[in-house]
Amino acid sequence: MSQTHRTRLLIARKVPAAVANRAEADFHAFVTESDMDSASVVDFCNRHDVPAILIGKKSGLQAEHIAALPSTVRIIANASAGFDHMDVAAARERGIAVTNAPDALTECTADFTLLLVLAACRRASEYERIMRNGWGKSFGMTDMLGTRVNGKTLGIVGFGRIGRAVAKRAQGFGMRVIYTDVRRADAALENGATFYASLDDMLPQCQVLTLHVPGGGVPLMAKKEFGLLRKGAVFINAARGGLVDEDALYDALTSGHLFGAGLDVYQHEPNVDPRFAGLDNVFLTPHMASATIETRDQMGFTALDNVAAVLDGRAALNPV
């Protein structure tokens, strides 16, 4: 390290330049040039006694890593909404604050979800391939038809920040919105959306379904759940790949039960099941829902705001 002042923050993942510059100015941070792994994070912290760490998926910290951290560590900050790459309970047991950035991703993830809805319904990947291959053939009135978004019923699983932002956008497209969650939202937050107490009750009503809940555990959407959807429904996932049984999704897409799907997340990222790439009725993106300049900067700034609060002796702004 070249800093003359003591480093107060390890940034263990590559971050945008604006975030790195602020981190170096405010915390004399050590900013990695490529994502560090968990063992390297632990080693660095023990060699330099840093009180704060900003981690990513590759540098996720499980119980054994957290147990090996020095007592100087006071906060582990995540520049994302998700924190499934670390053991939060183990950190709490050691008195280490864990934070995330729940608001930073909301608007861009909601925008991207609508992109997936529109692209899957209107066969965007097929149309784009036709144009890149030179077009050369006119289409008639019955050729290459998509399905209209306006007037469709959109089912939302998880009515938190992102789910509600998606609902607002969908209503702007004239969609009817229904949702399910562990509890009903306040009427003011529902904004006209209809609550279903269970996923199984909601699925038969959905013409488009989108997921906005954390991952982990048994897949939420498996053979039974896809079977409950209406024939011709469209499935969207910009949440977590682990929410979906991909064999069941593939079967639903190839059998004709689903009209199509828009997917941004997968079970084994970045190694996506190659079967999906061979399907015309799937619009695929490489986990990019938050990938805008503004959002990635804000994700990093939120993590730094949390670091500043904890190191100043204040409560974390976004505790997990």
106-284 is classed CATH 3.40.50.1000 = no
Residue 2 has pLDDT above 70, yes or no: no
Per-residue pLDDT band at 216 (split at 50, 70, 90): confident
* Spacing of C-alpha 290 from chain mean position: 7
Identical fold, 10-104+293-311 and 106-284: yes
Q: Which of these is catalytic: 269, 275, 296, 314?
A: 269
Tokens read off for 138: 């006119």
Residue 3 has pLDDT above 50, yes or no: no
Structural domain spans, the chain? 10-104+293-311, 106-284
Share of the chain above pLDDT 90, in %: 93
**What is residue 57's predicted lDDT score, i.e. its pLDDT?**
87
Q: How far is CA 244 from CA 261, 266, 278, in A?
A: 12, 8, 19
269 given a catalytic annotation:
yes
pTM of the model: 0.91
**What is residue 5's predicted lDDT score, i.e. its pLDDT?**
62
Question: If phi over 0 gives left and psi between -120 and 50 gives alpha, with beta otherwise, what is residue 151?
Answer: left
Fold of 10-104+293-311: Rossmann fold (3.40.50)
Q: Which of these is catalytic: 22, 240, 246, 296?
A: 240
| Helix or strand (DSSP H, E) at 99 | strand 97-99
Give me the mean pLDDT over the 285-308 stretch: 97
Q: Which of these is catalytic: 287, 294, 296, 314?
A: 287
> Could you read off the pLDDT of 13-31 as tens digits, one per residue?
999 999 999 999 999 999 9
126 given a catalytic annotation:
no
